[in-house]
Amino acid sequence: MSFGRFNNGPRQMFKVTCSDCGQETEVPFKPDGTRPVYCRDCYQKHKPKRDNY
């Protein structure tokens, strides 16, 4: 059964520096340098608010 995702084992993580606090963290994508990358704590502060309809 396929759910539209590939399971290739462990996800590759990339070391980055948080654009907000400067803490080193890891993300599951390779940043392209055009957008800020945040650690988990700072992402919670910056993520867009979701509208509940």
pTM of the entire structure? 0.67
Q: Tens of pLDDT along 1-32? A: 455 566 667 789 999 999 999 999 999 999 99
Give me the pLDDT at residue 53, please.
67
> Do 25 and 16 form a contact (C-beta atoms < 8 A)?
yes
Secondary structure tally for the chain: helices H, strands E:
1, 2
Give me the pLDDT at residue 49, please.
79
> Do 17 and 36 form a contact (C-beta atoms < 8 A)?
no
Nearest Cα residue to 28 out of 41, 8, 49, 12:
12
